Amino acid sequence: RDRASAELDEAVAKLDGEPRAERFFGVGNPAKILAEASEELDLLVLGSRGYGPLHSVLVGGVAGRVVRDAACPVIVLPRKAGHVGESSLFAEAAPSVHG
């Protein structure tokens, strides 16, 4: 949690321009948390830890569930879009879980 929270702080600090991004850190079911948070947002931008937005949307995963359930527009950045450093906790793909 500490490492993820620190990475989030660093990422938000790098953003400039208006409107300013707001920091949000949640623990629990990510798709549910993000879908609920989207009810108060104008736009939700999230990174995909899987195989990119198209695969996540078609097959499932957190990004796909958020895109389907969000109350606002969602932009999904694929893991390889360059927004995550190599040493980041989020640099590796999430394990594939099919069920």
SS3 of the chain: helix, strand, coil, percent, to 5 = 45, 10, 50
Enter the tokens of residue 22: 């707001």
The C-alpha torsion from 57 through 8 and 24 to 37, rounded to 10°, is 0
State pLDDT tens for residues 8-56.
888 888 877 777 777 788 889 999 999 999 999 999 988 776 655 555 4
pLDDT at residue 58 tops 80: no
Number of DSSP helices (H) and strands (E) in the chain, helices first = 4, 2
Highest mean pLDDT among 2-16, 29-43, 53-67, 70-84: 29-43
Whole-model pTM? 0.63
Q: What is the phi-psi region of residue 27: left when phi exceeds 0, alpha when psi lies from -120 to 50, beta otherwise?
A: beta
pLDDT at residue 99 tops 50: no
